[in-house]
Structure formats: C-alpha cells, structure tokens
Structure 1
C-alpha cells in the first residue's frame, strides 16, 4: 500500500489546429464529435453544471471512471471543468481543467491547462500530461479527417 500523499501539479499543453475556433470548440461540445477522439461518454450534458461521465478500460484490465462537471462555458472561447479520475474503487486524482480556444492565423491555438492533485502515488502527473498530449493529437487527426 502506498503512503498517503497529495502531489499538486499544473501542466499546460498548447496545440495549433488549422481549423476555426468554432470547429475546434464543436469537437469538445458535441457528444458524437468528442467520441471520435476522446473515450465515449456514458453521460454527456454540455452546459454549465452539466456532467460528463464515462466508465471503461482495456479488455481484462481495470475499470476507469471519469466524472466531470462543467463549471464555465464561453462558446468558441473557453471551457472550464472539474473532474475526478478513479481506477476501480481508488481515487487517482482530482483536477480543474481550462481549455482556451484562441484565433490565430486563420486557425486555432488551443491552450489546455490542468491543475490537479494526484493522490497516494496511484498516478503520476507526467503520465497524465503524456496521455493528454496523445488525446489532443487525436483531436487534430479527427479535425483533419472531417
């Protein structure tokens, strides 16, 4: 068993997409559009106070639960949400995430900032940042493929 601990961290990831802010924002705001690049949600209520909830994982592996609440939405400009991530019955982390959509050169500069507390050594901020970078790359591929 790991010693009780709380590791606080913030990471920022920036991506440039050749698509308009409204198109990039729509890839976050619609359940079907988001499911192309992010694990499909069991519940998706994109509004302030709304919830995004999903459970799943690799075949034969542990079940992960993502449970988010939208705190602020400014269409085509900003999304702020808080979320927990659990593995089976173990809480891995609690985070606040801000996603900003900035027009730049005919496209969009996306700025993703996550502030989190990683609990009891069950997950590492470096792994979360790496996984988030992969998801944002997948978002770019999805946008390019539309």
Structure 2
C-alpha cells in the first residue's frame, strides 16, 4: 500500500480573450471536443455541479473520472476536485485550480494540480503528460 503526493503547474498562452477560453471549459459540447476525444462525457458546469468521463485504458480496463466544481469565477478561475478509478480501483484523488489571466489580446492559463496517487495505479509523470496533452488540444480547439 503506497501513497505518493505530487503537485505540478502547467502554463499555456492562447491567442484569444479569457471569455473564449472560459467558454471552452463551460460549454459541454465545446469541452467534449478537446477534453474527451474518445469516451463518454457529461458536464454540469456550476458550483456544486460535476463532470464525468468514461473511457477505456490501452489494456482494456474501464476508466472513470468524476469531478466536482467547488469555485467558478467567470473568465478568471475554476477549482475542482477529481477522482480517477481504473476498473474498481481508486487510482488518484486531485484538486485542480485553473487561472485565466488576460494578457493583451490573449490569455495565459495557469493550471495547478495537487494529486494523491494510490498504490501505484497511476504515476505523477503520466498525469502531468496527459494534462499537458489536453491543454494542447484546448489550444488547437481555440484556433
């Protein structure tokens, strides 16, 4: 039985105003396009609302992601907690803060994630890489 704690911060700059970046998180259809390329997605974007993702890992294991939104400041900040379960095994519990900062005509997004990884079911490097990948897909969707 092991527990690993990890925190990482990723930054991206997008050439659109914070309102566009925020809308890409808040609108269910828009978010599904960049956040969940394969799998199921449901989004109730409000404080107390949630988000679920159902997918399959490369080895065929069902993966379930469930998030709860705790703080939403339109065009500025989003804070949510997430669990990731592979099969019937809880792999991670995390808290994520997304900050949107207007810079000229664009937006600097700063995402900070604090994770608890349980029993080796997921690795910190995997999570950071995967999060970076979907932030890159967000950038592509905003072009």
TM-score after normalising by structure 2 = 0.94
Task: Judge conservation of contact 1:31–1:41 (CA < 8 Å) in 2.
Answer: no
User: How far did 1:41 drift?
Assistant: 4.9
Residue 13 of structure 2 is aligned to residue 19 of structure 1: no
Partner Cα distance (1:101, 1:42) in 2: 23
TM-score after normalising by structure 1 = 0.92
Post-superposition, which runs of at least 4 consecutive aligned residues in structure 1 deviate over 3 A? none
Equivalent residue number for residue 82 of structure 1: 81
Following superposition of structure 1 onto structure 2, how do residues 1-146 of structure 1 map, counting pairs within 5 Å?
4-39=1-36, 41-58=40-57, 61-144=60-143
Partner Cα distance (1:42, 1:137) in 2: 19
| 1:81-107 C-alpha deviation (Å, 9 max, x unpaired) | 000001110111000000000001210
Q: Unaligned 5+ residue runs, structure 2?
A: none
Partner Cα distance (1:35, 1:119) in 2: 27
User: How far did 1:43 drift?
Assistant: 2.6
CA RMSD of aligned residues (A): 1.3
Partner Cα distance (2:58, 2:91) in 1: 20
SS of the equivalent of 1:37 reads helix
User: How far did 1:53 drift?
Assistant: 1.0
Does 56-65 or 134-143 show the bigger shift? 56-65
Aligned length: 141
Partner Cα distance (1:97, 1:41) in 2: 21
